[in-house]
Amino acid sequence: MEPYAIIETGGKQYRVQSGSKLNVERLEAEAGATVEIGPVLAVSDGTALKVGEPTLDGVKISCTVLEHLRGPKTISFKKKRRKGYARKKGHRQELTALKVESV
């Protein structure tokens, strides 16, 4: 089994392996820059799993920023029948595409 880690960024948790690509909440880093993602919640070396309580100290995941992009549009629509009330609002989340270099 491949080594993997569970990381937390932007209030969400992701399972990552070396070479994997993922979209996370927007990070303040230039495209092409290397960033270290933390906190790391769990790490597996392929045989044994280390779980933090709640995080592992001294463990960082190295990632390269591929690009900054915007996610798909989500529509929020509210309506109250027979009252003439309708509100439509759209939202696109700012994202950062990352490639995991090392676990």
| pLDDT, tens digit, 9 for 90 and up, residues 37-81 | 989 999 999 899 999 999 999 899 999 999 999 999 999 999 999
- Summarised one tens digit per residue, pLDDT across range 2-18 is 899 999 999 999 999 99
For residues 33 and 64, is the Cβ–Cβ distance under 8 A? Answer: yes
The whole-number average pLDDT for the span 90-100 is 97
Cα 44 off chain centre by: 19
**Residue in this structure with the two tokens 């690009």, named with its chain if needed:** 67
Position 1 pLDDT exceeds 90: no
Average model confidence (pLDDT) for the chain? 95
**Residue in this structure with the two tokens 């880093």, named with its chain if needed:** 29
CA distance 77 to 30: 35
Indicate the pTM of the whole model: 0.85
